[in-house]
Structure 1
């Protein structure tokens, strides 16, 4: 397996005509796996924990039908899947969540299973949400498993995806993100979030902080504006080109990650990968919902 995304998938309710909502399945790590699969065509897997109920079955079937490997999904009898609803205003989104029953919260409850899941993977992808849904002791289990996988040759890519509402405090969130940064090879922070919660005054400050934390490669996203790449001390700005008018920004950063990481796995330079990520995200934000149909995505 070339790429494994690890985290929480949820039922998504997105706005439709007449005040109705459209049901889908999404979640930051699943979104990135979706776009990796669309761009790579094979070698992409998703790991999570689902229930044994009808909605969990439907989600697993949906993921598998997209061509994403589901063999590393575990089931639990006591829980189901979480749900979120999107509200839109001028293309910008806000979310309401129901995730207390999410089986993905048990992701690191079985260290042996987790170690087996991460074995033999070229690149492992996790996010700050993956960390946030776990109890602190289980978060430590996950980080230990990621370090073991790195020692065995895997590369770990990490999007901090800062979501304060998932944490007991901003202090806990920032501490956990910093700890996770030490376990990653590629960091994919978004500057606006990092500036708000870490106080970064520039894209360079964000890149330097993650590099100092342990990441050899940092891709600082900037909401469609000029980006910054950092690789082993070499820093370079990237101008993404003309802006686009979004319909729905849900999944923008996740799709960027799919474009960027698929390009890096294919041997592209950091600048080429950054432009690829932007090109993918520019298509996705002009489509409602987190997951743009694969057959509509122009690689």
Structure 2
């Protein structure tokens, strides 16, 4: 269970996942599309709540008032996730993307998100919503969460995040670098490094550093992150060993292998959600990484970002930190 120096020990209040959720259209053939909803932080919040239903989880974003936005809201609530930080505006709607999956399970995407409501997140929130963020336990966001924001919205985001840190909120961050979402690599570095400096928990992948800094060696990636003195660092390497540096020392955890790959989407999102939920629930970094890896390995067996709840629940009931 928690050590006395464990950052997760003192958490109070809900766990807030801030990002964009989009309409997901999966290409099923020449004249068929399957409809769902997905986004990195949305996916993580779903998997965390399914694995640890006793935890209070909120999804933070901005959506429209149209039928699709309302359907997303209903989907969130049906999963037991709160919408206290989910303003709805009449002027804009959800972003969308279509997926085409190849024979190896890798996906390509077509996006329609340039005018989505989520880009207006901070200015759309009420004063009560904004102030309530100072009382949450954990705030988790990603590089995508900040990349999509308009410049003035991003300024408001950083101001609020600094206030939250001063108020004692534990902040977690995954760079999840997507070059096409940023004006330039320089702008991306400036903002991602700002996030590093404000965050207590970092959950990057080596591929983030490869794309952004040209670094592929895991030790160099760890050294870069340690410049920012995170209290817990979880360095992911896709199918390779996860390295964790925390108050309990350094640990290396092999990932769970799975050759039955249908769709690799949201494997990392599932890992993040289950890892954070497990740590908040009192499990060690190693046990949490094992659980997160098992969940990620299971998620890739089904198409789409969110696997059917019944399938996940069956898997999780069998796993249960066995």
Matched, 1:282 2:294: no
Q: Is the 8 A contact 1:240 1:275 kept in 2?
A: yes
Find the counterpart in structure 2 of residue 15 from structure 1.
27
Q: 1:206 aligns with which of 207, 221, 241?
A: 221
SS of the residue 1:215 aligns to: coil
Relative to 1, partners in 2 of residues 1:194 and 1:233: Cα closer, same or farther, differing over 3 Å? farther
Runs of at least 5 residues in structure 2 that lack an aligned partner in the other structure: 1-12, 317-322
Runs of at least 5 residues in structure 1 that lack an aligned partner in the other structure: none
Q: Is the 8 A contact 2:15 2:136 kept in 1?
A: yes
Higher relative contact order (CA 8 A, sep 6+): 2
Could you tell me how far apart the structure 2 residues matched to 1:94 and 1:289 are? 12
Q: CA deviation at 1:233?
A: 9.4
Could you tell me how far apart the structure 2 residues matched to 1:7 and 1:117 are? 17
Find the counterpart in structure 2 of residue 92 from structure 1.
106
Matched, 1:158 2:173: yes
Q: CA deviation at 1:149?
A: 1.7
Greater CA drift, 206-215 or 245-254: 206-215
TM-score, length of structure 1 as denominator length:
0.94
Find the counterpart in structure 2 of residue 217 from structure 1.
232
Q: CA deviation at 1:198?
A: 1.5
Find the counterpart in structure 1 of residue 135 from structure 2.
120
Structure 1, residues 251-282: CA drift from partner, whole Å, max 9, x if none? 11100101111111011111111111110000
Find the counterpart in structure 1 of residue 187 from structure 2.
172
Could you tell me how far apart the structure 2 residues matched to 1:221 and 1:64 are? 30
Relative to 1, partners in 2 of residues 1:77 and 1:246: Cα closer, same or farther, differing over 3 Å? same
Could you tell me how far apart the structure 2 residues matched to 1:58 and 1:79 are? 15
SS of the residue 2:24 aligns to: strand
SS of the residue 2:283 aligns to: coil
Greater CA drift, 245-254 or 141-150: 141-150
Q: Is the 8 A contact 1:204 1:228 kept in 2?
A: no
Matched, 1:35 2:47: yes
Find the counterpart in structure 2 of residue 69 from structure 1.
82
Greater CA drift, 161-170 or 267-276: 267-276
Could you tell me how far apart the structure 2 residues matched to 1:65 and 1:21 are? 23
Q: Is the 8 A contact 2:207 2:216 kept in 1?
A: no
Q: 1:104 aligns with which of 99, 118, 122?
A: 118
Aligned residues: 299
